[in-house]
């Protein structure tokens, strides 16, 4: 179980994340939505420790991941594998070599430097490519693949890390609809077959509804919705994407219309925050 407890992160006067708390039981597919700048990428990067929180705690299966250093940190980063919108492959390396990079977390620094991989590692990388329908491309340069194919290679590389959780930051944002479906289906297969939790940032509400078990919504760094995906109706979506300042009611800024998931931020809190930001 991944556990976030009151996690905050500031960048100068910007509160990218504010007191975020939630748990993700193993095997859940969680979609993360919110407007541009809401803090979605910062959330995933904080879990992976690419970004250090300013406050709060993050733990996995009962152990905090915030004080990990050296090899332990490297192991955690492998366990919480990231997938990016831009794929982040080495474009001139072969598909197979790109996938093998995922096994580097277990290999010694010397072997990593010379790019030496064992027969077992190569077989495993090939098997993963086969699973994802990419084996026939194994010896092509990554740059010669379509976006959807590159993203599947990136997923194979992530799986090579033997992750406990996959953190996908807008994995389909630069793909055509068909490739996007293949990539999302791939993530769902991995989630269901291997029981690996997925946290997936998305801008498409339809995709969120189709693939998520659960939705987490951020607005201006705050968690404003954490609910089963069935709660993501049109009024909830409006609550996430509309400007909070336009909806003051009775001294409160109401986030949602769906009463069971209403989260409120008092205007005092909002004003205090604005003053903090100005200061
Ligand atoms: N390294 C950084 N330095 C300064 N500010 C940052 C940094 N990273 C993020 N921010 C700020 O934190 C806030 C949240 O950014 P983040 O990238 O997490 O948003 P997002 O929800 O992923 O947006 P998008 O949908 O556009 O990707 C933004 O105001 C952003 O400008
Ligand atoms: Mg982002």
Residues 222-236 have pLDDT tens digits of 999 999 999 999 999
Q: Angle at Cα 166 formed by Cα 118 and Cα 175, nearest 5°?
A: 100
Report which bound ligand comes closest to the CA of 34.
Answer: 1
The two beta strands, 29-33 and 214-219, are parallel
In the numeric block, which tokens belong to residue 30?
Answer: 């969680």
Q: Which residue has the higher pLDDT, 72 or 254?
A: 72
**The pLDDT of residue 114:** 67
The pLDDT tens digits of the residues spanning 62-95 come to: 999 999 999 899 999 999 999 999 999 999 999 9
Ligand 1 site-directed mutation target among 15, 17, 34, 39, most atoms within 8 Å of CB: 39
User: What is the spatial distance between Cα 264 and Cα 240, in angstroms, rounded to a whole number?
Assistant: 12
**The pLDDT of residue 277:** 38
Q: Closest Cα to atom 1, ligand 1: which residue?
A: 11
Ligand 2 centre to CA of 30 (Å) is: 16
Ligand 1 centre to CA of 218 (Å) is: 12
Q: Over 70: is that where the pLDDT of 132 sits?
A: yes
**The pLDDT of residue 82:** 96
Residue percentage of the chain with pLDDT more than 70: 82
Query: Using 50, 70 and 90 to split pLDDT, how confident is the model at 242?
Result: confident
User: What is the spatial distance between Cα 23 and Cα 137, in angstroms, rounded to a whole number?
Assistant: 38
Domain limits for position 81: 2-278
Q: What is the average pLDDT across 109-138?
A: 86
The atom number, within ligand 1, closest to the CA of 34 reads 21
CATH number at residue 23: 3.40.50.300
User: What is the spatial distance between Cα 208 and Cα 32, in angstroms, rounded to a whole number?
Assistant: 8
Residue 197 · residue 164 · CB < 8 Å: yes
Q: Give percent helix, percent strand, percent coil of the chain, each to the nearest 5.
A: 45, 25, 30
Residue 216 · residue 22 · CB < 8 Å: yes
**The pLDDT of residue 246:** 43
Number of structural domains in the chain: 1
User: What is the spatial distance between Cα 68 and Cα 52, in angstroms, rounded to a whole number?
Assistant: 11
Query: Using 50, 70 and 90 to split pLDDT, how confident is the model at 104?
Result: low
Q: Closest Cα to atom 24, ligand 1: which residue?
A: 36
Ligand 1 centre to CA of 96 (Å) is: 33
The pLDDT tens digits of the residues spanning 14-27 come to: 999 999 999 999 99
Q: Closest Cα to atom 16, ligand 1: which residue?
A: 39
Ligand 1 site-directed mutation target among 16, 31, 277, most atoms within 8 Å of CB: 16
Beta strands in 155-261 (DSSP E): 165-169, 197-201, 214-219, 222-228, 248-249, 252-254
**The pLDDT of residue 257:** 32
Ligand 2 centre to CA of 63 (Å) is: 27
pTM: 0.85
| Chain mean pLDDT for the chain | 86
Q: What is the DSSP letter of 141?
A: B
The pLDDT tens digits of the residues spanning 152-202 come to: 999 999 999 999 999 999 999 989 999 999 999 999 999 999 999 999 999
Neighbours of 115 (CB within 10 A): 12
Q: Closest Cα to atom 14, ligand 1: which residue?
A: 39
The atom number, within ligand 1, closest to the CA of 39 reads 18
């Amino acid at each position: 179980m991944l556990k976030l407890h009151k996690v905050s992160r500031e960048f100068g006067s910007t509160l990218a994340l504010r007191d975020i708390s939630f748990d993700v039981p193993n095997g859940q597919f969680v979609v993360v939505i919110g407007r541009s700048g809401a803090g979605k990428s910062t959330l995933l990067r904080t879990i992976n420790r690419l970004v250090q929180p300013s406050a709060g705690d993050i733990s996995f299966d009962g152990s905090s991941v915030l004080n990990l250093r050296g090899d332990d940190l490297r192991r955690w980063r492998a366990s919480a594998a990231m997938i990016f919108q831009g794929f982040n492959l080495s474009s001139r390396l072969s598909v197979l070599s790109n996938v093998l990079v995922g096994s580097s977390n277990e290999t010694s620094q010397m072997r990593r430097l010379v790019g030496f991989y064992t027969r077992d590692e190569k077989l495993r990388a090939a098997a993963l490519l086969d699973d994802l329908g990419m084996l026939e491309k194994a010896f092509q340069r990554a740059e010669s693949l379509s976006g959807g194919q590159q993203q599947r290679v990136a997923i194979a590389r992530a799986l090579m890390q033997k992750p406990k959780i996959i953190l996908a930051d807008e994995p389909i944002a630069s793909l055509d609809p068909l490739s996007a479906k293949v990539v999302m289906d791939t993530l769902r297969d991995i989630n269901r077959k291997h029981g690996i939790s997925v946290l997936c940032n998305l801008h498409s509400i339809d995709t969120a509804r189709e693939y998520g078990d659960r939705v987490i919504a951020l607005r201006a760094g705050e968690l404003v919705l954490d609910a089963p995906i069935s709660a993501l109706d049109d009024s909830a979506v409006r609550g996430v994407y509309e400007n909070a300042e336009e909806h003051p009611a009775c001294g409160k800024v109401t986030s949602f219309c769906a009463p069971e998931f209403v989260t409120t931020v008092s205007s005092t809190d909002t004003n205090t925050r604005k003053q903090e930001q100005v200061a």
